[in-house]
Chains A and B, each alone.
Chain A
Amino acid sequence: MNDRIEKQVELKAPVPRVWRAIADPAEFGAWFRVKFLDPFAPGKRVRGTMTYPGYEGMALEIVIRKIEPETLFSFTWHPYAVDPKLDTSKETPTLVEFRLQKSGTGTLLTVVESGFGQLPPGPRALEAFRMNEGGWTEQMKNVGAYVAGS
């Protein structure tokens, strides 16, 4: 079984436009629905708060790995770091990579998230988070409606 997720999407926008939407914290935050509080720089820990309706103010943190202009942007994160009661400092994060390539119609974007298998086993005492698991379905419906309507 593959422990990585890979996505490819054709975007009808030139590479510099797509790059800005990914490497600029304000633009990234606009579609990712996060307000970042720090600038992006390699090796830097970037704090943010979610702006998604229903999750406003929840903390999110990513660590920037690579910034290779118009080519590669990567970061690591703990997908569940929004629970303030959980100490994730000892956990291995997953790695998210955005790769951009010029294509006939604009930009071919490849996103890979990997490293799920490196997470050490741990206790399941994360009661606070349980409701978010159920909440995701609801969130998906909202976003589906948003995308369909635009």
Chain B
Amino acid sequence: MSRGASALRRHAPVFAALGDETRLSLVAKLCDAAPCSITRLAAGSRITRQAVTKHLRVLEGAGIVRGVRSGRQVLFELDPAPLEAVRDYLSQVSRQWDVLLSRLKDFVER
């Protein structure tokens, strides 16, 4: 019941940013690889470089991805911290339900 408002609010933009299949696929690619250029992220998919750029901006805005300058190009890399924070938050909510449901179980089975 008391989950921490600030935690929830902090995570909301991360959830929102991940609520899109294209962005999730970009995150997955960045999880597997070293920092990537936009060209490389767009390669082998039907997404245009423009679309990749747009989605990367959203991910960047949520702090999930950051651009790093490398010579003349910008490479994008994942910042795992916000993803881990969201995962921790959800597991906290999950544990809370475990506790509530064990109380319910006890309540109806006695």
A39 interface residue, CB < 8 Å from B? Answer: no
Q: Is the interface of A mostly helix, strand, loop or mixed?
A: mixed
Q: Which of B8-16, B32-40, B44-52, B67-75 contacts A (4 or more CB under 8 A)?
A: B8-16
Q: Is the CB of A13 within 8 A of B106?
A: no
Q: Which of A1, A82, A123 contacts B2 (CB 8 A)?
A: A82
Convert B1-42 into 0s and 1s, putting 1 for each residue whose CB lies closer than 8 angstroms to a CB of A.
Answer: 111111111111101101100001000000000000000000
User: Do residues A143 and B99 form an inter-chain contact, with CB atoms below 8 A?
Assistant: yes
Please give the number of chain B residues whose Cβ is less than 8 angstroms from any Cβ of chain A in the complex: 41
* Cβ < 8 Å to B, chain A residues 7-45: 7, 9, 11-13, 17-18, 21-22, 27, 30-34
Q: Within the complex, what minimum Cβ distance (angstroms) separates A14 from chain B?
A: 9
Interface size for chain A: under 10, 10 to 19, 20 to 34, or 35 or more residues?
Answer: 35 or more
Residues of B within 8 A of A46 (CB): none
Interface residues of A in 99-150 (CB under 8 A from B): 109, 111, 113, 116-124, 126, 129-130, 132-133, 135-136, 139-140, 143-144, 146-147, 150
Q: How many A-B residue pairs have CB under 8 A?
A: 141
Question: Quick check: A60 and B1 within 8 Å, CB to CB?
Answer: yes
What residues on B are CB-neighbors of A126 within 8 Å?
A: 5-6, 9
Shortest Cβ gap from A115 to chain B (Å): 9
Chain B residues with a Cβ under 8 A of chain A: 1-13, 15-16, 18-19, 24, 83, 86-87, 90, 92-110
